[in-house]
Structures are given as C-alpha cells and as structure tokens.
Amino acid sequence: MSFTLPDLPYAHDALQPFMSKETLEYHHDKHHLAYVTNGNNLLKGTEWEGQSLEDIVKGSFGKNAGLFNNAGQHYNHLHFWKWMKPNGGGAIPGALEKAIIDGCGSMEKMKEDFIQAGVTQFGSGWSWLALKDGKVTVMKTANGESPLVHGAQPILGCDVWEHSYYIDYRNRRPDYLKAFIDQLVNWDYVAEMYDAAAK
Ligand code: MN3
C-alpha cells in the first residue's frame, strides 16, 4: 500500500474565518503532500511495505525515524481534515458526550484541558482526545507522534505545528485551539472514531 493525498472534504475557503484558504492551501496542498511523497520514498524496500498505515506507524516508531515521522504525520493529517467541518462545534452525539464527561469530568473541563495540552506542547506537536484503558482522556504528543504509539487510540487531534495556525493567528496558539474546539470540530467524525475504538 502506498500513501496518497486525499482531497479535502470541503472547499479550501470553507473553514473561514477560523482557518483561512491560504492556510489550507499550504497545509494540505504542500505540507501534507510532502509527508505523502517522502513517506512513499522512505517506505520502499522496508519490512513495512504492504502493511496498513496504522501498522506502519506503530511498527516504524523507534526503529526508522524518517519513515515514522512522515507516515505518522500522514496518519495524523488524514484524520485532521475530517476532524473539522464548516459550522463545526455544536452538538455532540450522546454516547460520546457521556464518555467524555465520564473520562474528563465535564465538557468544559475537557475543552480546557485539550486547549491547555496544545498550549503547553513545547515546539511542534498535537493535542488529543484518545481512548486509553477504556476512558476518554486528553493527551499531547511531539512532532509526528500520536496516541497510537503511546498505547491509546486517537479520536480527536489538533495540529499545533506553527504551519497550522501562524498565517491566521500568528503566535496566538491559545486562540487557535479555542477556535478549533468551539467552531471547527466535526463531532460526528469524532464519534465515529470513538465507536470504532470502543468496540
Ligand atoms: Mn500539519
């Protein structure tokens, strides 16, 4: 299996004013494409060729840094585009809402912790909601890592690399994270990943 760049599930200008057309042109069309191209080149001839993306990510972690960084970021971005939608935020499917309250205390606490995880991720990385030991929990990871390589299943992630927000928010990472969680999240897709992980 080789990596391919998916189309965005909405127009490049569909997430404005919270994420600009220019950001998505750079982030999707250039940054994600580079992970796909480099990942395919680095995958060739390795023991992971022909495996699923999740298996490549987990298998190459700690063993092949170049491949892991690109495959990890390909996995993260594939979902990142789908974790957002125009007119996002809003109502959360009931079973997921219950699991979030159970794992994080309340919806408000989850949002606060999710933003805090992104703000305190030093340098590049991601903030996450993940299912770990049967509970929804907030996590943060560096660079191309995800909960997948830390014993958990990601259900929502926010890219806090500067390329994700600097055009629109400059250095205001907290404002970007707040806009993401309040205005952009596609909770139906989060629920889909939660349901698959909770099985
Ligand atoms: Mn990115």
Ligand 1 centroid to residue 28 C-alpha, Å: 8
What whole-number distance in Å separates Cα of residue 30 and Cα of residue 34? 6
Specify whether 119 is located in the same domain as 183: yes
Specify whether 72 is located in the same domain as 98: no
Ligand 1 centroid to residue 6 C-alpha, Å: 14
Chain-wide mean pLDDT for the chain? 97
Query: Is residue 1 a part of any domain in this protein?
Result: no
Report the number of distinct structural domains present in the chain: 2
Query: Is residue 89 a part of any domain in this protein?
Result: no
Query: Is residue 10 a part of any domain in this protein?
Result: no
Ligand 1 centroid to residue 160 C-alpha, Å: 8
Specify whether 122 is located in the same domain as 174: yes
Ligand 1 centroid to residue 77 C-alpha, Å: 6
Specify whether 77 is located in the same domain as 109: no
Ligand 1 centroid to residue 63 C-alpha, Å: 22
3-state secondary structure of 46: coil
Residue-wise pLDDT for 51-100, tens only, equals 999 999 999 999 999 999 999 999 999 999 999 999 999 999 999 999 99
pTM of the model: 0.97
Query: Is residue 169 a part of any domain in this protein?
Result: yes
With both helix axes pointing from N to C terminus, report the angle between 107-120 and 94-104 in degrees, rounded to the nearest 10: 70
Ligand 1 centroid to residue 161 C-alpha, Å: 6
Amino acid making up residue 55: D
Query: Is residue 12 a part of any domain in this protein?
Result: no
What whole-number distance in Å separates Cα of residue 83 and Cα of residue 76? 10
Mean pLDDT across 173-186: 98
Residue-wise pLDDT for 134-159, tens only, equals 999 999 999 999 999 999 999 999 99
Exposed / middle / buried, residue 2 (Cβ in 10 Å: 0-12, 13-18, 19+): exposed
Specify whether 164 is located in the same domain as 69: no
What whole-number distance in Å separates Cα of residue 165 and Cα of residue 112? 19
Ligand 1 centroid to residue 143 C-alpha, Å: 9
Range of 27's domain? 21-82
Q: What is the pLDDT of residue 1?
A: 64
Ligand 1 centroid to residue 10 C-alpha, Å: 17
Going by C-alpha positions, the residue among 156, 96, 100, 103 that lies closest to residue 130 is 156
CATH code of 155's domain: 3.55.40.20
The radius of gyration of the chain's CA atoms, rounded to the nearest angstrom, is 16
